[in-house]
Structure 1
Amino acid sequence: MSARFDAIIVGAGQAGPALAGRLTSAGMTVAVVERNLFGGTCVNTGCTPTKAMVASAYAAHLARRAADYGVHVPAGVSVDFAAVMARKDAISGKSRDGVESWLRGMERCSVHQGHARFVSPREIRVGEELLAADRIFLNVGGRALTPDMPGLGEIQHLTNSSILRLQRLPRRLVVIGGSYIGLEFAQMFRRFGSEVAVIEKGPRLASREDEDVSDAITGVLEREGVEVRVGAECIRFERRGDDVAVGLDCASGATEIVGDQVLLAIGRRPNTDDLDVANAGIELDGRGYVKVDDELRTTAPNVWALGDCNGRGAFTHTAYNDFEIVAANLLDGASRRLSDRIPAYALYTDPPLGRVGLTEAQARATGRTIRVGKRPMTRVARAVEKGETDGFMKIVLDAESEEILGAAILGVGGDEAIHGVLDAMNLGARYSELERAVPIHPTVSELIPTIIQEALP
């Protein structure tokens, strides 16, 4: 059976459904192909479920600190892990069902469930169906990377997806990887009541951040009882009855950590290895990501790649922006480009880290003359009033051009407050303009102009 459409979209993640809405509104017929869960990583195994769990972990943590606020919790604090997971599932399921219902009810949109493979540059096979279109858009996402590590094939391990299906709270969770996914799970499971150890091969946690940010995050986790081991070489695994022994060689500390669950959080890989992209002339890079130009076009004419599979952003907001770029260029006569996007993201530990632009180290490496403003959260009134004073705020400036180069806000509300800097950067504002702003008191954001005024060479 064959069918022809104006466009085919492979994958119903963050970019795909929105693009289907724009294309069908423009009068095009669209086939959307999804082989697993509607909504992609964000809705099913990423942002939505994990941030629901982070919220539960924060509630438990705050309840344990109730006495700090003059509140008495007479029966103590316990966590109903099954209820936590049920709440997460309900929130995620509602979002997933919403995406699927939207697509199935969309005029001129045809939904096809199954595994898509390229037959030619204009044809895709899904089961017994052969779909053809003059425009094809890939939004196939990614999955957890599972490297070849000694003993890994002999044990059962968790990924960011399978950990969301746990039925029982681990007694001791060993997290392999000290980056964003691993750190969020480490803190939340510690707050749920598990013993937690984080093992990182590199010299520090969150290694893409400045050292002061990494050190502050490490301090927060260690104060909550998370064991942190960095500089771990030759990580290996061995089954010990119902437990797993994780062997490691570090400069100090025990050479073995034993836990009943192991989470691998050491990277992602794109879902491009089973699409037969060579049949369409689509080139992949050495890591399997689809090669795209500045407007997200692949090496095959009239084929675009959006979201995680193109390696040009690993976040929901960058995937959605990919959709905006493609839709604007195709339908609105615009000339939007990936290179215009200012990088920004958040780490949802508690306190959260909001980041935009260059780090201090990256800015120094450019050879520019920079100024750096920094203030601990102990000197932010809003943080003091909320009793959450871990972290600091930092902004990096070009002393000569007055360009705002980047910022990091590790502290209460940091994931929201960072948008004041991001918006100013998107508007091309000079820091001398931002420092004249009159923000609301008491907020975290109100300190941004002050930090700029106090910035030092």
Structure 2
Amino acid sequence: MRRNRPRAAGPDDEARLLQRVRPPGWIDPPPKAIYDLVVVGAGPAGLEAAEWAARRGFSVALIERAHLGGNSLNAGSVPSKAIIRTAQIRDGMRDADAFGAPLPNELPLDFGEVMARMRGIRTRVAVYHSVHDLAALGIDIFFGAARFIGTRTLVVNDARLSFRKALVATGARPRIPDTPGLERTGYRTSDTIFDMAELPKRLAVMGGGPLGCELAQAFCRLGAHVTIVQNDAKFLPREERDAAEILSWSMARDGMEIRLNTAVVGVRREGGAKILETLNNEVRGEIAADEILVCTGRIPNVEDLDLAAADVAFEPGCGIRVDDFLCSTNSDIYAAGDVCLSLKFTNAAQSSARMAVRNALQQAGQRHDGSAIPWCTFCDPEIAHIGLQVWEARRRAIPIKSYTVMLSDVDRAITDGQETGFVKIHVAEGSDRILGATIVASRASELINEMAVVMSTGIGMDALAEVVHTYPAQSRALMLAAQAYRRDVDGTVQREPSA
């Protein structure tokens, strides 16, 4: 008997989404004489800041030029992870016989159903920060483009808003390279890839960062012939080389064409195809595609705010200049999220927003430290990191020692058939203080959160070795790494028990 499934997205899902993120016919409220806080941008950072301040009794105005939720909800984390999950299910079906299960019949993929599920999920998630719930908190919501006209005043539509403090959280947009012929030929970005009605037979992905790798692998597993082009020697430049090499191997296993150390020097249309002209060590090549996905980084949204009128310093390619407390060059204006941070992740945006608002409204004096923020690339296997990287330690002359546990030595990873990857914990030499960790595993996004708790509370390797974990669980790899540290220190022998 077929199990009940969640309802697929219907034709009215987009209408319900709009009712939550930008209702048609919305009328801006009359502005207050002065707001305790005006928030510009309603992505993850702006929503976090506005809700935090409103729940503590401050008067808040929230301004959004497009839709509530920003990139994370509408064109980033939520839609991409919905599609990645479908791709994982389809890929797992192909390996059913490796687990003693019969291979399912290979049926054609209904790409329309995949995208409908994504839209339904996006609509459901939107309810948690809907315009109606925000308004019920007492937040005045304005839809339109904001522009500063003074150090403590801005305008949106025809309304003039004065504030005691302001937070700029306008996020970032896809960075488009000036490759000859790209604009004329046409391309997609994370802003438009989720609008596709049909799965392209051939997809070329420019850029091997987190989003490029995630979407390249997902669309490959859904059935597209994918070629990914990266102008660096490895994928994920922020990650350790062995982690990037595992990802490269995994994507090649999926059937993806990989072009590393390769630059796209031109794009043209030839018949019905889009042709990418490439250069690798002075060797020219070509890639034919039906669609081009550009994932070459993100650029902060600062150009249209007239920040100079507010005495806020910024750089067009880097964003708003802030100090350690997330305050701009105007002491009454703060910034948070992608518009000012190098780490452009949803959790980093939310964390910085809470800190910025506490500093602005409560003079909390909290310094922003990105080293305590974990991140993850949601490929298969997932790659997650927190804290100090090996090369950072070398550059800063910090002596470290790394303790590594391969997943092929972890009982639960063996039973799950998910043995590819490792847990690596970096420790300050001569102590048990944890400085950073890299995890490559099917559940790295979950395992790294334990490391975030460990590091934020100051738990060292010696104490981590004593934390009792469930058995069998992949998270025991963290305990095994800590026990490896202990063996290194005092020579005791501890190993993963057998069931």
The TM-score bracket by the shorter chain reads: over 0.9
* CA–CA separation in structure 2 for the residues paired with 1:93 and 1:322: 26
Equivalent pair of 1:363/1:405 in contact (CA under 8 Å): no
Cα gap change, 1:286/1:117 in structure 2, threshold over 3 Å: closer, same or farther? closer
Question: Which of residues 6, 9, 18 is equivalent to 2:39?
Answer: 9
Task: Identify the residue that residue 159 of structure 2 maps to in structure 1.
Answer: 129
Question: Which of residues 416, 421, 424 is equivalent to 1:394?
Answer: 424
Cα gap change, 1:340/1:186 in structure 2, threshold over 3 Å: closer, same or farther? closer
Task: Identify the residue that residue 269 of structure 2 maps to in structure 1.
Answer: 239
* CA–CA separation in structure 1 for the residues paired with 2:247 and 2:336: 32
Equivalent pair of 1:44/1:96 in contact (CA under 8 Å): no
Q: Which amino acid aligns with 1:175?
A: V
Q: CA deviation at 1:3?
A: 4.7
Mark the runs of 5 or more structure 1 residues left unpaired by the alignment. none
Task: Identify the residue that residue 16 of structure 2 maps to in structure 1.
Answer: none
Task: Identify the residue that residue 29 of structure 1 maps to in structure 2.
Answer: 59
Q: Which amino acid aligns with 1:232?
A: T
Cα gap change, 1:343/1:30 in structure 2, threshold over 3 Å: closer, same or farther? closer
* CA–CA separation in structure 1 for the residues paired with 2:268 and 2:90: 33
Q: Which amino acid aligns with 1:218?
A: S
Listed one character per residue, the Cα deviations across residues 109-153 of structure 1 (whole Å, up to 9, x for unaligned) are 211111111111122111222222222111111110012112112
Listed one character per residue, the Cα deviations across residues 213-257 of structure 1 (whole Å, up to 9, x for unaligned) are 111110000011111111113532111122111111114987111
Partner secondary structure for residue 371 of structure 1:
strand
Q: CA deviation at 1:102?
A: 4.3
Partner secondary structure for residue 282 of structure 1:
coil
Task: Identify the residue that residue 229 of structure 2 maps to in structure 1.
Answer: 199
Please tell me whether residue 109 in structure 1 is matched to residue 109 in structure 2: no
The residue correspondences of 1:40-439 to structure 2 (distance < 5 A) are 40-233=70-263, 235-251=265-281, 255-285=285-315, 287-331=317-361, 334-339=364-369, 342-439=372-469
Please tell me whether residue 20 in structure 1 is matched to residue 50 in structure 2: yes
Partner secondary structure for residue 397 of structure 1:
strand
Q: Which moved more, 1:429-438 or 1:95-104?
A: 95-104
* CA–CA separation in structure 2 for the residues paired with 1:165 and 1:295: 38
Q: Which moved more, 1:67-76 or 1:132-141?
A: 67-76
* CA–CA separation in structure 2 for the residues paired with 1:227 and 1:430: 42
Cα-Cα RMSD: 2.1
Partner secondary structure for residue 160 of structure 1:
coil
* CA–CA separation in structure 2 for the residues paired with 1:181 and 1:378: 27
* CA–CA separation in structure 1 for the residues paired with 2:128 and 2:116: 18
Equivalent pair of 2:93/2:104 in contact (CA under 8 Å): no
Equivalent pair of 2:343/2:370 in contact (CA under 8 Å): no
Please tell me whether residue 451 in structure 1 is matched to residue 486 in structure 2: no
* CA–CA separation in structure 2 for the residues paired with 1:8 and 1:117: 12
Question: Which of residues 447, 468, 472 is equivalent to 1:442?
Answer: 472
Q: CA deviation at 1:451?
A: 1.8
Q: Which moved more, 1:193-202 or 1:339-348?
A: 339-348
* CA–CA separation in structure 2 for the residues paired with 1:95 and 1:419: 22
Cα gap change, 1:62/1:166 in structure 2, threshold over 3 Å: closer, same or farther? same
* CA–CA separation in structure 2 for the residues paired with 1:273 and 1:297: 19
* CA–CA separation in structure 2 for the residues paired with 1:107 and 1:352: 37
Equivalent pair of 1:30/1:108 in contact (CA under 8 Å): yes
* CA–CA separation in structure 2 for the residues paired with 1:61 and 1:235: 33
* CA–CA separation in structure 1 for the residues paired with 2:134 and 2:478: 45
Q: CA deviation at 1:36?
A: 0.4
Equivalent pair of 2:95/2:103 in contact (CA under 8 Å): no
Partner secondary structure for residue 401 of structure 1:
coil
Partner secondary structure for residue 54 of structure 1:
helix
Q: Which moved more, 1:218-227 or 1:363-372?
A: 363-372
Cα gap change, 1:254/1:65 in structure 2, threshold over 3 Å: closer, same or farther? farther
Q: Which amino acid aligns with 1:118?
A: F
Report how many residues are paired: 457
Equivalent pair of 2:229/2:263 in contact (CA under 8 Å): no
Q: Percent identity?
A: 28
Partner secondary structure for residue 356 of structure 1:
strand
Q: CA deviation at 1:178?
A: 0.8
Equivalent pair of 1:354/1:416 in contact (CA under 8 Å): no
* CA–CA separation in structure 2 for the residues paired with 1:425 and 1:117: 40
* CA–CA separation in structure 2 for the residues paired with 1:390 and 1:63: 18
Cα gap change, 1:70/1:239 in structure 2, threshold over 3 Å: closer, same or farther? same
TM-score (norm 2): 0.87
Cα gap change, 1:77/1:378 in structure 2, threshold over 3 Å: closer, same or farther? farther
Q: CA deviation at 1:360?
A: 2.4
Q: Which amino acid aligns with 1:239?
A: R
Equivalent pair of 1:243/1:259 in contact (CA under 8 Å): yes
* CA–CA separation in structure 2 for the residues paired with 1:407 and 1:72: 38
Q: Which amino acid aligns with 2:399?
A: T
Partner secondary structure for residue 244 of structure 1:
strand
Partner secondary structure for residue 369 of structure 2:
helix
Equivalent pair of 2:65/2:146 in contact (CA under 8 Å): yes
